[in-house]
Structure 1
């Protein structure tokens, strides 16, 4: 029986973008199933007391430059040269996350992730601008009106809150977080461990 890799994702996390493409390759190589759970990173930070690394580590001598070095090494290794750091980071992604929640199924949700990742992290769109997000949806062949209306649905809003709380209750504190059953991994640097686990290795 194939395993399911659950990705806890907020589209406003640069490491979520970087992990997305290698993760899909791992899933394809191993025959695993991929499931995306949209959460709101801002809410996750409030619930856990976490904060973005560049803020949390700002006063630690040498740590931020080294993190930037490792970040670039990952980009180079996985040939993700289209990535552009968003000038407004950290920014509000609640509209995008609600749109993901409003998906009718995992296939549609993952196609939306494929659409929004380059829009956010290659073109650096304004994620809170309804008109801009609507154009991205239309250009991707989606019904923009349907998703923008759904993003205001109280049930969709509550589902995003519930997803975030549930992820935190299970141990998540940042993006990207991965679950295979009850096993959890955090960070794009854990992708090799995940692939090893999917092929019979230890967690």
Structure 2
């Protein structure tokens, strides 16, 4: 557990269960959380409501939060608040929302969540990063972006990647290049494989994604990193290329380069990477639906879509 986390967890305000004007259960904090402007918010953990519409998750708070920065991501009627610099534990994400009743006052339907662990060094992750946004929009599911450093995973639990690079099977290598081209054409992307520098050191780019998430710039920045590396064959490990990307997405390059050198950002990237390993991941992209249902690879996004659809429309109960 991170030093200083226990003290903050102990001081977390407890919720008060209330009902809104239309009868929905809403859990309000007795006082604001430090680091969030705008007053008290509703704090619940998904899944929140049982079949009777009663809250079952409002008191499930995380322990060991060392940093109190809370960031709001809005997706339709759901607001996902990410707590940074917490421990390497699953389910660090707190969901805060005002959930509407269905027709006739039906119980509220919970929203599913996608977690997307990624490193821009992978061409298949470029494909997945692009397509998961479409899947999320279709399924009305918020995406929690989780930048990682996949080299650290390969070094510790998946060294077979390096063995394949050193001694590739020619037929498999040729098919992989064709497969990439097929997927890229399907998605309307350009991927040049292999790029001049491969593999690439993306540690600065991934730290930048961590640093930019609080201001809502992670997605455009990561998209630009993917495009510059995989489509335009630029060296995204260099400060000059990263500075150019900053200008493209309206970010001060000097401020960002200073941020990615901070201990807090470095530590968060390490924690994200270790968390993926702890949760059974072994590469990029890795996708979780509702925190536990894991999928690996761009080509599994059809299964992610199906998993989200099944959760939204559960099978009818069996008749006796």
| TM-score normalised over the length of structure 2 | 0.58
Match of 2:299 in 1: 189
1:163 correspondence with 2:278? no
Q: 1:15 to 1:56 in 2, by over 3 A?
A: farther
The one of the two structures with greater contact order (alpha-carbon pairs below 8 A, sep at least 6) is 1
Cα shift at 1:54: 5.1
Q: CA RMSD in A?
A: 2.0
Which of 153, 160, 163 matches 1:44?
Answer: 153
1:145 correspondence with 2:263? no
- Larger-Rg structure: 2
Match of 2:191 in 1: 83
- The superposition leaves residues 48-96 of structure 1 with CA deviations (integer Å, 9 ceiling, x where unpaired) of 13325851761x462222222322221222222x222322110100010
Q: 1:27 to 1:57 in 2, by over 3 A?
A: farther
How is 1:117-136 mapped onto 2 (pairs within 5 angstroms)?
A: 117-136=226-245
How is 1:90-101 mapped onto 2 (pairs within 5 angstroms)?
A: 90-101=199-210
Report how many aligned residue pairs link the two structures. 200
Give the stretch that moved more between structures: 82-91 or 181-190: 82-91
Task: Measure the CA separation in 2 of the matches of 1:176 and 1:189.
Answer: 10
Task: Measure the CA separation in 1 of the matches of 2:186 and 2:213.
Answer: 34
Match of 1:28 in 2: 137
Aligned to 2:244, the other structure's residue is in SS state: helix
Match of 1:70 in 2: 179
Task: Measure the CA separation in 2 of the matches of 1:106 and 1:37.
Answer: 15
- The superposition leaves residues 121-180 of structure 1 with CA deviations (integer Å, 9 ceiling, x where unpaired) of 222221221122112211221111111001111111111111111111111111111011
Aligned to 2:216, the other structure's residue is in SS state: helix
Contact 1:54 1:64 in 2 (8 A): no
**Which structure has more helix as a fraction of its residues?**
1
Q: 1:98 to 1:199 in 2, by over 3 A?
A: same
Contact 2:113 2:144 in 1 (8 A): yes
Aligned to 2:143, the other structure's residue is in SS state: strand
Which of 176, 184, 187 matches 2:285?
Answer: 176
Aligned to 1:179, the other structure's residue is in SS state: strand
| TM-score normalised over the length of structure 1 | 0.90
Structure 2 residue runs without a partner (length 5+): 1-109, 315-320
Cα shift at 1:41: 1.2
